[in-house]
């Protein structure tokens, strides 16, 4: 049996490319720990970009349910690399990680970073010097850290992906009662969009979106019971994905979701590093601050991804939707239309 610690760099990097969100711990954890160990040993060294690239490649696994030691060690290594490399001078106005942020579909990186020695497909103007720039490597380290543990890092460019912006606009129309598209189709599609192994940000965003729109699905505006049925199914599946564990917040620190328009926007901002950076910017985080903390107001941003908060939110959502289904049952029994 080959010891991972004995693998040459190229074979270790290639093994990391094969790890994804569905990989078993027996395959993923030794690679995560070895790459994290090497990065922690020299977070600013000439091979730091390789270990950062490896952890980015394995972030799909790390953002699901890694072992505690693997998650903690990976985050420590990424944090050390981001700090060490991010303090070095850089003459570039922009870095390639910024232009690739939109490709983090459901926050799982499916492309090439260039950090592992590969040339991204279609990159005729691939510039090794810019890709290996300390600022670019530090940027990838911050992105991976934020995907694994949302709201624990700053200095991420603010701005949700264009597709998420479009979804925010569509949902705003629905919750403000002037839908651009058929709400039946939109809400059914939203209910079925959760990946089988979502990241913490995507999972939180989905549940917030379901809560923001459940009142509309329960109103007389929705005439097809398949809509609330699909939403119930989606929420129940999401709840099953929530991790166990105690709540780290005071009772008054969980977010207020009484404004459906605001909540529907947050539901999509939560689903990307750029969207979360926009939330942080709105709440007064300073761009130059490296360490994360609470916002300037009384609402800690990490409360949006708190499992306890999300369980309560899901319970409220399910109660609303199941009441709506009872209304459909009454209407189908001939006793009148479903009530809002």
DSSP string, 20-39: -TT--HHHHHHHHHHHHHHH
Q: What is the pLDDT of residue 288?
A: 45
Tell me whether residue 4 is exposed, middle or buried, using C-beta atoms within 10 angstroms of its C-beta: 0 to 12, 13 to 18, 19 or more.
middle
Rounded to an integer, what distance in angstroms lies between the CA atom of residue 131 and that of residue 134? 9
Q: What is the pLDDT of residue 7?
A: 77
Rounded to an integer, what distance in angstroms lies between the CA atom of residue 228 and that of residue 223? 10
Q: What is the pLDDT of residue 60?
A: 92
- Two tokens, residue 270: 């939560």
- Two tokens, residue 144: 């991976």
pLDDT tens profile 83-98:
999 999 988 888 989 9
The pair phi, psi for residue 322, each rounded to 5°, is -70, -30
Rounded to an integer, what distance in angstroms lies between the CA atom of residue 239 and that of residue 241? 5
Tell me whether residue 236 is exposed, middle or buried, using C-beta atoms within 10 angstroms of its C-beta: 0 to 12, 13 to 18, 19 or more.
exposed
Q: What is the pLDDT of residue 124?
A: 47
- Two tokens, residue 9: 């760099």
Give 44's contacts (C-beta < 8 A, 6+ positions apart): 81, 84, 85, 88, 134
Helix/strand/coil for 158: coil
Task: Report residues of the chain scoring pLDDT below 50.
Answer: 1, 124, 287-296, 335-340
Rounded to an integer, what distance in angstroms lies between the CA atom of residue 120 and that of residue 14? 15
Rounded to an integer, what distance in angstroms lies between the CA atom of residue 46 and that of residue 36? 15
Rounded to an integer, what distance in angstroms lies between the CA atom of residue 98 and that of residue 126? 15
- Two tokens, residue 64: 């699901």
Distances, alpha carbon 246 to alpha carbons 255, 293, 307, in Å: 17, 19, 8
Q: What is the pTM of this model?
A: 0.91
Q: What is the pLDDT of residue 94?
A: 87
Q: How far apart are the first and last CA of the chain?
A: 64
pLDDT tens profile 173-214:
999 999 989 999 999 999 999 999 999 999 999 999 999 999
Helix/strand/coil for 153: strand
Scored b (16 or more CB within 10 A) or e, 39-78 reads bbeebbeeebbbbbbbbbbbbbbbbbebeeebbebbbebb
């Amino acid at each position: 049996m080959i010891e991972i610690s004995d693998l040459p760099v190229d074979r270790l990097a290639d093994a990391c490319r094969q790890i994804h969100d569905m990989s078993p711990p027996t395959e993923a954890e030794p690679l995560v720990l070895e790459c994290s160990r090497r990065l922690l040993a020299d977070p600013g060294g000439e091979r730091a970009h390789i270990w950062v690239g490896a952890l980015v490649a394995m972030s799909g696994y790390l953002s699901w349910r890694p072992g505690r030691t693997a998650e903690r060690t990976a985050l420590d290594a990424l944090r050390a690399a981001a700090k060490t490399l991010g303090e070095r001078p850089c003459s570039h106005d922009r870095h390639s990680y910024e232009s690739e942020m939109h490709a983090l579909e459901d926050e799982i990186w499916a492309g090439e970073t260039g950090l592992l020695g590969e040339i991204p497909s279609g990159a005729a103007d691939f510039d090794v010097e810019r890709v290996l720039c300390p600022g670019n490597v530090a940027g990838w380290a911050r992105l991976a850290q934020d995907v694994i543990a949302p709201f624990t890092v700053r200095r991420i460019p603010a701005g949700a992906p264009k597709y998420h912006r479009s979804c925010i606009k569509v949902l705003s129309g629905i919750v403000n009662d002037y839908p651009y598209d058929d709400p039946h189709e939109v809400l059914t599609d939203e209910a079925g969009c959760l990946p089988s192994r979502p990241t913490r940000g995507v999972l939180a965003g989905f549940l917030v979106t379901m809560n923001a729109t459940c009142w509309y699905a329960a109103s007389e505006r929705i005439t097809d019971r398949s809509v609330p049925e699909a939403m119930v199914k989606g929420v129940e599946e999401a709840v099953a994905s929530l991790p166990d564990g105690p709540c780290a917040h005071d009772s008054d620190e969980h977010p207020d979701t009484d404004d459906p328009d605001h909540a529907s926007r947050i539901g999509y901002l939560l689903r990307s590093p750029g969207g979360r950076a926009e939330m942080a910017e709105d709440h007064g985080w300073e761009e130059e601050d490296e360490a994360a903390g609470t916002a300037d107001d009384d609402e800690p941003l990490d409360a949006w991804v708190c499992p306890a908060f999300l369980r309560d939110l899901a319970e409220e959502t399910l109660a609303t939707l199941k009441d709506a289904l009872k209304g459909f049952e009454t209407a189908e029994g001939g006793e009148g239309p479903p009530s809002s």
